[in-house]
């Protein structure tokens, strides 16, 4: 009995797994299986948790519910490759992404990671405030605009809210950083201290990280605006209506083809061989007409793609995020200006120290003259100078006058060379 249940522990996916309304992974039911007979007690837990995450599904009417879905179900439902789902994995660090696929839009902006289809939004569940705000605000807007005429498709409403919350969050962080860093910079400019320098260093690291995040969002929106093909892929509602129209048109062509084949077979019973070959030729002709009509419809629709609506939406938020980026660049310039001012002040102090050192060096040289005179008179020799004590006073006067003249000559030389103003 345990051996027969072991495979179902790992691959227990319901038949209706492609429908998001019915797929839930019952962890309690899996936890009650007996796996002692399987020989792989750790395999059940890994199989149960493989790709299973909590998602929030929001439909067009603004109703939301929490689902437990594995990644294979999401891939089948949204027609997405596995690499697109890896962009939404919070365990990995990927750049900010806005991708347009055949049946979905993949968004990874800050903490908002979701998949938008023409009918619903599949949001990765999280306790982060941005995720909860996105869910509540999107449900409120969809329920409010339920009875109002709005030309904006469902997918663009969800995309607009994601861009709005991302830009608003980044702009709020920039304003908070400005309020904290400007007083510290002003205090540092007036009083250079180790504590203020350490605070500015921390703020500068935070500024660099925030600038990189804002720059990535700005580059992603700009890259999307530069490619009309990528923007055309995001018209999910229009593509869905086009697919439905093509499906109904192909069905109508098949019915007409079968009816025409029946009419030809009844009206021309000349030869069995000839009639069969004629029927085959007629079927090929009708199939070629249908395929040519199908291709011409797709080419005309793709040639006449109008992405102005999405382009204006992206351009509006590009202006917002670009303004936020300019604030960060201005703040960075202010920090650089403050650093330049500090370097100028430190250079000025260093120049003053050098000037003072030159004065001391000149004074030391003058004092050396007295030392030389002392050394001369300290020698043990006989002279008439030693017989008259008042003569030594003249020696001191002459030496002091010579030292003063020498010192002033140094000052005049420094002034002439513009070493420092006097």
Q: What's residue 182's pLDDT? A: 92
Q: What is the mean pLDDT of residues 281-303?
A: 42
More confident residue, 256 or 146: 146
> 51-77 burial string, b = 16+ CB within 10 Å, else e?
ebbebbbbbeeeebeebebbbebbeeb
pLDDT band at 37; cut points 50, 70, 90: very low
Distance CA 166, CA 178 (A): 18
Tens-digit pLDDT profile for residues 387-412: 777 777 787 888 888 888 988 888 88
| Closest by CA position to 109, among listed 317, 313, 308, 319 | 317
Task: Tell me which of 61-65, 172-176, 215-219, 242-246 is least confident.
Answer: 242-246
Q: What's residue 271's pLDDT? A: 42
- Token pair recorded at residue 413: 């030389």
Q: Is residue 4 scored above 50 in pLDDT? A: no
Pairing relationship of beta strands 120-124 and 53-59 according to DSSP bridges: antiparallel
pLDDT band at 19; cut points 50, 70, 90: very low
| Closest by CA position to 48, among listed 12, 2, 90, 87 | 12
Cβ count near 48 (within 10 Å): 17
| Closest by CA position to 275, among listed 260, 264, 263 | 264
Distance CA 36, CA 210 (A): 52
Q: Is residue 100 scored above 50 in pLDDT? A: yes
More confident residue, 415 or 277: 415
Query: 375 vs 180, 254, 312, 403, CA distance in Å?
Result: 65, 125, 92, 16
Q: Are 107 and 160 in contact (CB under 8 A)?
A: no
Question: Is this structure's pTM higher than 0.95?
Answer: no
Helix residue ranges, H only, 109-193: 129-144, 154-190
pLDDT band at 375; cut points 50, 70, 90: confident
- Token pair recorded at residue 314: 């992206």
Helix residue ranges, H only, 268-377: 272-303, 308-377
- Token pair recorded at residue 319: 């202006």
Q: For residue 292, give every residue at least 6 positions away whose Cβ sits within 8 Å of its Cβ, in sequence order, or none.
A: none
Cβ count near 326 (within 10 Å): 12
Tens-digit pLDDT profile for residues 186-197: 998 888 888 988
Q: What is the DSSP letter of 93?
A: -
- Token pair recorded at residue 112: 């908002």
pLDDT band at 252; cut points 50, 70, 90: low
3-state SS assignment for residue 306? coil
């Amino acid at each position: 009995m345990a051996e027969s249940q072991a495979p179902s522990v790992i691959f227990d996916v319901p038949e209706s797994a492609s429908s998001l309304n019915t797929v839930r992974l019952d962890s309690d039911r899996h936890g009650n299986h007996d796996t002692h007979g399987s020989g792989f007690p750790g395999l059940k837990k890994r199989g149960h948790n493989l790709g299973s995450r909590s998602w929030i599904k929001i439909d067009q009417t603004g109703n939301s519910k929490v689902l437990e879905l594995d990644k294979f179900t999401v891939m089948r439902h949204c027609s997405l490759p596995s690499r697109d789902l890896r962009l939404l994995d919070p365990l990995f660090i990927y750049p900010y992404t806005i991708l347009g696929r055949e049946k979905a839009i993949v968004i990874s902006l800050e903490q908002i990671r979701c998949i938008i289809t023409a009918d619903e939004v599949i949001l990765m569940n999280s306790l982060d405030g941005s995720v909860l705000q996105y869910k509540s605000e999107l449900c409120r807007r969809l329920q409010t605009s339920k009875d109002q005429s709005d030309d904006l498709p469902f997918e663009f409403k969800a995309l607009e809210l994601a861009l709005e919350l991302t830009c608003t969050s980044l702009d709020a962080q920039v304003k908070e950083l400005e309020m904290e860093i400007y007083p510290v910079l002003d205090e540092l400019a007036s009083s250079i201290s180790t504590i203020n320098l350490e605070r500015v260093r921390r703020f500068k690291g935070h500024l660099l990280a925030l600038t990189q995040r804002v720059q990535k969002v700005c580059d992603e929106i700009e890259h999307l605006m530069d490619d009309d093909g990528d923007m055309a892929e995001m018209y999910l509602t229009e593509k869905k209506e086009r697919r439905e129209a093509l499906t109904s048109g192909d069905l109508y062509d098949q019915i007409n083809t079968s009816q025409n084949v029946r009419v030809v077979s009844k009206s021309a019973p000349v030869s069995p061989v000839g009639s069969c070959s004629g029927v085959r030729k007629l079927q090929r002709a009708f199939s070629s007409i249908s395929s040519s009509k199908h291709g011409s419809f797709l080419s005309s629709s793709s040639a006449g793609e109008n992405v102005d609506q999405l382009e204006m939406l992206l351009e509006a938020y590009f202006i917002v995020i670009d303004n936020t980026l300019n604030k960060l660049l201005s703040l960075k310039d202010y920090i650089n200006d403050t650093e330049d001012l500090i370097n100028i002040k430190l250079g000025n102090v260093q120049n003053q120290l050098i000037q003072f050192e030159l004065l001391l060096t000149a004074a030391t040289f003058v004092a050396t003259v007295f030392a030389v005179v002392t050394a001369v008179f300290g020698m043990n020799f006989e002279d008439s100078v030693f017989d008259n004590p008042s003569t030594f006073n003249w020696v001191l006067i002459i030496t002091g006058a010579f030292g003063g003249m020498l010192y002033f000559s140094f000052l005049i030389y420094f002034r002439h060379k513009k070493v420092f103003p006097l």
